[in-house]
Chains A and B, each alone.
Chain A
Amino acid sequence: MRKRSLWKILKYAFLSFAALLFFLPYWFMVVISFETPQEASAIPPHWLPPSPTLRNYVRLFTQLKFGTYMLNSVIVTVSLVVGQIFLCSLCGYAFARLYFPGKSVLFFALLAVLMIPGVMLLIPRYIVLRQLGLTNTLTGVIFFQLLSVFGIFLYRQQIMSMPIEFEEAAVCDGANVIQVFYRVVFPLLRAVHTSFGLLVFVYGWNLFLWPLIVLSSPKKYTLPVGLAQLQGRYFFDFGMMMAGAVVATIPVIVLLVLFQEQIIKSMAYSGLKQ
């Protein structure tokens, strides 16, 4: 019995220590964001800001265009969440319930693109983007991220595991396929919309490399792209950099605290990071 409780203490000590390693960078991120450059370079670093100031945050939104970056990020993220839920559920429904000759071949052609590393598509997608005249537009950022093969797969699986009788009853009552989808199936998928939507939100909010390539003028920058420019301009001003990092991190952390269970479930289910 004593051996067992010793193990328990060891286990909790290990868990707390490791959790501290994950948490401390965030703690200092917040502390330094409230400090002046002099305070931020103190040796040893402060555990709490000695004289908290909002100077860095004020400068982010007045001297820099952080308001615009945030708005752009919201546009991109919301479009991706709404667009992907809409497209993936529609397409997933078609693959789950409707007849089409060569459907399985088509489905394979869809899943096959999951094997391609993201970097491979970078240069050729940029070329297509230029031909479509979408360089330096948010539309270009969104358009190339709108198709989620994982999402289609997820919705197809979920729809296939649902009873089909409600849909057939609606067909008997004279509804066409699109009415069946929107009146019967779409509302039943609410749990999937939530967990998939959360996943897309985190993905869209943090998307970095693609908008970095697409966007060239500061008034189009999304938050991660605008944030990355900070380290060029404020190389040694960690207060500014950390304040920017805090602004970019708060929305996703709020989501994580609110929807911890769903995020854990859908991330684990996804089995593939974007």
Chain B
Amino acid sequence: MSRLLGGVPKKKQISWFLILSSLSLILLIVTFYIPILYAIWFAFTDYDALSRPRFVGLFNFQKAFTDKVFWVSFRNTLVYTLMVVPLVTAISFLIALALNENSAFSRIMRLFYLLPLVTSSVAIAFAWRWIYNPSYGILNTILGLFGVQPIRWLVSPNTALVSIAILGIWASTSYYILIYLAGLQNIPEELYEAARIDGASGWQQLIHITVPLISPTTFFVIVTCFISAFQVFDPVFLLTNGGPGYSTYTVTFYIYQNGFVWFRMGYGMAISWILLGLVMIITAVQFIAQKRWVHYYA
């Protein structure tokens, strides 16, 4: 624990504290706490951005449970998350494992892997719009070499959500490679040395040292990847706009549509609360389940 600045009387410290933190605290109230209070209040109203909000009780929440589009959005979000989270976790772990050496080759490679992390989601969407183009996109061109008939990636309701998920995996893996690389550096080298002296093979070291000791990082990756996948918006908005039909509607996209396209802001905010509830429940379940598989190295 660090100690306080000596030589300045307590009373003065209080006023200095207020002076230094006042701007941040004002921003905290205006850009976080007031909006949250609004979110609570408007979720129980029929606010439409123009007329005065009218209190409607739990109507918005009841409406959501019988709203077919909400359920479709929820299902799509779940399917998307279940495709993205396991694959991102596995791929980023494998790449980080291979990258985890201090060589010039590895350093140059890292640069390629980090590209999506710093690229605007709009530029990424443009690149993938071309990749997915049914007639001259590169994906169908490559698949055509193997005799696969052209697939209408973003245009067909059967493949649109999968296409968004492939893009999601491509775009988010970079970040988790970094997290895994940082985690791998924390595993003490002596453990591997001891294992090698005992005659353990590379595979045994991986299974008995790396995998269990990296499990706290894996847990972090799964939880954060889940939370961000559950809120996927940009690729849906930019590539399919929810379509074709409702096949790529996700919960966040539905919130956006309600709030800023149809101006059903009250309803949109009620759905936001349902989303927050769902995220918190699933995160809590993950935290309980981790006790069974996460090993903390003391």
Contact = CB atoms under 8 A, between A and B. Distances in A.
Contact of A238 (B3, B130, B231): B130
A187 interface: no
Interface in B1-34: 2-8, 10, 12-14, 16-21, 23-25, 27-28, 30-34
Contact of B115 (A26, A208, A213, A264): A26
A45 B261 CA distance: 37
Contacts of B153: none
A180 B13 CA distance: 13
Query: Chain A interface mostly helix, strand, loop or mixed?
Result: helix
Contact of A122 (B3, B126, B202, B255): B255
B65 interface: no
B141 interface: yes
Given A43-B141, A94-B16, A256 B118 contact: yes
A230 B120 CA distance: 14
A245 B116 CA distance: 13
A273 B252 contact: no
A206 B120 contact: yes
Interface in B232-247: 233-234, 238
A79 B95 CA distance: 36
Contacts of B113: 18-19, 22
Contact of A227 (B37, B107, B123): B123
Contact of A273 (B34, B109, B224): B224
B238 A231 contact: yes
A256 B174 CA distance: 13
A113 B32 contact: yes
A172 interface: yes
B120 A249 contact: yes
Contact of A15 (B98, B111, B228): B98
Contact of B2 (A103, A117, A160): A160
Interface stretch (B188-196, B264-272, B286-294): B264-272
Contact of A28 (B17, B19, B130): B130
Interface in A69-112: 87-88, 90-91, 93-101, 103, 106, 109-110
Contacts of B256: 119, 122
A117 B278 CA distance: 11
Contacts of A255: 118
Interface in B88-107: 91, 94-95, 98-99, 105-107
Contact of A29 (B14, B118, B127): B127
A113 B111 CA distance: 33
B138 interface: yes
7 contacts: A28-B138, A106-B25, A122-B259, A123-B265, A125-B35, A168-B5, A208-B121
Interface of A: 7, 11-12, 14-16, 18-19, 21-26, 28-29, 32, 40-45, 87-88, 90-91, 93-101, 103, 106, 109-110, 113, 116-128, 143-144, 146-147, 152, 159-161, 164, 167-168, 171-172, 176-178, 180-181, 202, 205-206, 208-209, 213, 223-224, 227-228, 230-231, 238, 241-242, 244-246, 248-249, 252-253, 255-257, 260, 263-264, 267-269, 271-273
Given A15-B95, A98-B16, 10 more contacts: A12-B105, A18-B95, A94-B16, A123-B42, A147-B28, A159-B2, A164-B2, A167-B5, A223-B120, A231-B238
8 closest cross-chain pairs (CB), A and B: A245-B123, A124-B35, A124-B38, A147-B27, A91-B24, A171-B7, A94-B20, A268-B182
